[in-house]
Structure 1
Amino acid sequence: MKKKMYINGEWVDGEKYSELLSPYNQKKIAEIPIASEAQVNKAIQAAFKHKKTIRNIPAHIRADILLKVSTLLEEKSEEAARILVAENAKPIRAARVEVDRTIQTYRFAAEQAKQLYGETIPMDAAKGAEAKFGFTIREPLGVIAAITPFNFPFNLAAHKLGPAIAAGNTIVLKPASQTPLSAIFIAELFEEAGLPKGVLNVITGSGSLIGDLLVKDSRINMITFTGSLEVGKRIIKLAGLKKVTLELGSNAPVIIDKVKDLDRAVTKCVTGAFAYSGQVCISVQRIYVHTEIYNEFLEKFKHESEKLIVGDPSDDNTDISALINPKELERANEWISEAATNGGTIYSGGSMTSNYLLKPTILINAPENCSLVKEEAFAPIVVVKPFDSIDSAIEEANISQYGLQAGIFTDSMQTALKAVKEIESGGVHVNDVPTFRVDHMPYGGIKNSGTGKEGIKYSTEEMTEIKFVSFTE
């Protein structure tokens, strides 16, 4: 089935096409258009031309459009979930959860469209300004270029499209090469919901070509990107004075202090580490466990992880399916071998099923300089290590170059507050895993995990400019 791009309110063919294959069985799903440089330019020009169109639409109408999209998605939720199963091998139960979250995300955006407040400024606080009245208003930036990843193609696109439209911006969306079907599907819903032509443009194809053209183009006012650290660095280098928000990599740590309810911590960590094969930016990758409960935790963690069913993503019983492509599977196996060769021990998993799916893998005694401790695994692999004091646990949690989210399980309020204060991360979850996220909370990292905040309210504000106005009596 040949798909089309959405440019200036029209569905257009590509000059060339590429085959989209299922990550699970490598069968052909569709033929995806490869945007030419001229088509990318046309999409940018359409967004640039229609800046005033969306800017001048009243907030309540923008809210109604976003609400209509959420309603349409709800009506077609099973179809959307099946798209995820096909294009990124997300197990169907997890796919349904993502679609449900996406519905909610667009509803948050609809509410936020009517909440863009300015503030009054007490001008008489400064000498010489006693006769002035000042206030601020928020205005849309203009054209937003949104570049989205493969792992949550519906919901992470919603975190960019929803706020952009709520704030009155136009968008050029470039989805990940492996997950274009979800972007095309959501464009169809926006069209049906009555979004004016040219406000949303969806282009597919080569990430290196399209990404560079978007980042360099002077008609683009902001780049919002979720993806790898390497690409994020390139965007910063090329973007010039454009506004940029980046949600990059992570290597999320969890600290497990002496807790009474160890079973709850185990269950949370199994889900946090292995949901969607660990292909989550805030997936649990490092677990530091107090020595007094270390062996008990390991035994229970292994027992629970081995209950997970690895298989066909379309099966309702499946917990874990394929990594996004064979190269990622090869890399994950190389990192496991690297850790094992340098003193680490494969405590559980570490092997593949008959159809080349990686089983949930637990490593212990992994050296600090191995890739699994230093880099982002994006695979169902977790490293577990004991600690003697909370100070040493926090120190080890902070060794990573990343700082997106972290978690700590503790029965001590003092320990919890200490961790909140000292862990270097954009978010700290007490008595939960870093994999926790709801779509209206502020979300973004420090260090090499990126810059800027997502979460509908925060993204919408990022996509506006504050204008100051003063009146003189």
Structure 2
Amino acid sequence: MPTLKDTYPLYLNNKPAQPNTDLAVTEKYTGEVAFRTALASPEIIDEAIAGAVHAAEPMARLASYEKQDVLMHCVSRFKERFDELAYALCVEAGKPISDSEGEVTRLIDTFRIAGEEAVRNYGEVMPLDISERARGYSSMWKRVPIGPCSFIAPFNFPLNLAAHKIAPAIAIGCPFVMKPASKTPLGALIMGEVLAECDVLPEGAFSILPASRDGADLFTEDERLKLLSFTGSPAVGWALKARAGKKPVVLELGGNAAVVVDHDADLEDALERIVFGAFYQSGQSCIGVQRVLIHADVYDRFKDMLVEKTKSLVAGDPKDRNTFIGPMISEGEATRLKGWIDEAVEGGATLLTGGGLSRGNMLEATLLENVHRDAKAMNEEAFGPLAILMKFDNFDDALDEVNRSEFGLQAGIFTRDLFKMYDAWDRLHVGGVVINDVPSYRVDNMPYGGVKESGLGREGIRFAMEDMSEIRNLVVRRN
């Protein structure tokens, strides 16, 4: 296994800085301090924003090939540091090593896609002579960088979700300041180390700053920043939007995603995908499967299959390649979800398997049925290894049940019926409908985001680049 350093710097205006070692980051399985890094003071954050403002014009003037070269340099270096990145993720997030390697692969994909999109920033020519008064006039427009951006990244995919902000910003030409999650800052700091190798980036092009609440308001409220992109919990995200002022805000928030298993589904295939979607990285995904709606004709059979498969999942040290269920991010989060499970059972739910809590943050993969509609486990985002089974007789009723949630990120539908597929696409109030797979499925070039309480805007490189840019029109009179 690779080794981690004892301390890591933050990155201020493209350069490493070690003003302190105030942030202790633990190995999530053992609870021991794995390394320390610096915390940015309000003065450092202010300096970073000033640097981003200063870098805005030279960043906007970078040639497309120069931005592509930066992104492809990152791709090359991430490949060289693959094992280090995966191990760091396994330690700081408690993500099983095989899943950590999968996230590094996605990190590389995301930067590669951005490298391709960096040379595809197209505009459009428009005729304006739609009436006599506009004879001889024409128009063309292009997209230009919006300016300095503020990014706040979450703990659960600390590599790839940071990449979904950093890579499109470079591709479109926006300088940025980023606050990585304090529980998992190392992946973003390694990205900063790689970006610091790119001399073509103007000073101030990027700052990556772990920060406490003291001064962190600058990431949201400072008017010099022209966009806020936040990924995290709905409670925090909507509060940040209310304080963001005039700047546009992109929010990638939570969910309690549902999957529908119709009577004609391939149950063996659905079983593998649903168990993965519900319990991958201990369910700590905003598109993790939380509600499983199963047609009455196959309910009992499929329930038994799910219970048996769930019981077989191996829990333990995430550095062990046999481990599928690792620790949750903290003891507090595990205790919270354990309380929701107990509350549901006390309210009449049936515990089919799991529910146990050990080592403080090792929560067993849990299946419930007959959960009361008002239970927290049913309505709020579990963000842990919990799935709830529900029975339906009519496909329309199943779609209504999916829509009953206040969230709307993605939904999965297992069906072989083409008409039901289109019906789901038309009727479900979600950002994405996935047919014959779980809502947890994402490819890094597709538009990704939610509606309702799940957020605003879309990620996916090309779509994020649109949020990080503005249309600038040119009108030409030829008379």
Q: TM-score, normalised by structure 2?
A: 0.97
The alpha-carbon deviation at position 209 of structure 1 amounts to 3.4
Contact 2:148–2:226 (Cα < 8 Å) also in 1: yes
Mapping of 1:193-342 within 5 angstroms? 193-194=198-199, 195-206=201-212, 208-342=213-347
Pick one of 156, 161, 177 that aligns with 1:151.
156
* Structure 2 gap ranges (5+): 1-5
Corresponding residue number in structure 2 for 1:69: 74
Pick one of 34, 37, 45 that aligns with 1:40.
45
1:19 matched to 2:32? The reply is: no
In the superposition, relative to structure 1, how do residues 210 and 106 fare at CA in structure 2: closer, same or farther (>3 Å)?
A: farther
Contact 2:333–2:361 (Cα < 8 Å) also in 1: no
Pick one of 346, 354, 369 that aligns with 1:349.
354
Mapping of 1:358-437 within 5 angstroms? 358-437=363-442
Q: Which amino acid aligns with 2:32?
A: K
Q: Per the alignment, in what secondary structure is the counterpart of residue 138 of structure 1?
A: strand
Corresponding residue number in structure 2 for 1:178: 183
Q: Per the alignment, in what secondary structure is the counterpart of residue 297 of structure 1?
A: helix
Pick one of 468, 471, 475 that aligns with 1:466.
471
Q: Which amino acid aligns with 2:444?
A: D
Corresponding residue number in structure 1 for 2:194: 189
CA distance in 2, matches of 1:11, 1:263: 50
Q: Which moved more, 1:118-127 or 1:171-180?
A: 118-127
The alpha-carbon deviation at position 235 of structure 1 amounts to 1.4
CA distance in 2, matches of 1:193, 1:302: 51
Pick one of 7, 31, 54 that aligns with 1:49.
54
Q: Per the alignment, in what secondary structure is the counterpart of residue 395 of structure 1?
A: helix
The alpha-carbon deviation at position 210 of structure 1 amounts to 4.3
CA distance in 1, matches of 2:41, 2:198: 28
CA-to-partner distance for each residue in 1:120-179, whole Å, 9 max, x for gaps? 112112441121120001100110101000111111111000100110100101000111
CA distance in 1, matches of 2:435, 2:415: 7
In the superposition, relative to structure 1, how do residues 148 and 316 fare at CA in structure 2: closer, same or farther (>3 Å)?
A: same
CA distance in 2, matches of 1:268, 1:167: 35
CA-to-partner distance for each residue in 1:201-254, whole Å, 9 max, x for gaps? 011121x33441111111100001100111111111111110110000101001
Corresponding residue number in structure 1 for 2:450: 445
Q: Per the alignment, in what secondary structure is the counterpart of residue 194 of structure 2?
A: helix
Q: Per the alignment, in what secondary structure is the counterpart of residue 385 of structure 1?
A: strand
CA distance in 2, matches of 1:51, 1:140: 8
The alpha-carbon deviation at position 354 of structure 1 amounts to 5.8
The number of residue pairs the alignment matches comes to 472
Q: Per the alignment, in what secondary structure is the counterpart of residue 379 of structure 1?
A: coil
The alpha-carbon deviation at position 9 of structure 1 amounts to 2.5
CA distance in 2, matches of 1:236, 1:115: 30
1:118 matched to 2:128? The reply is: no
Q: TM-score, normalised by structure 1?
A: 0.98
Task: Indicate the percent of aligned positions where both proteins have the same amino acid.
Answer: 38
Contact 2:53–2:148 (Cα < 8 Å) also in 1: yes
The alpha-carbon deviation at position 14 of structure 1 amounts to 3.1
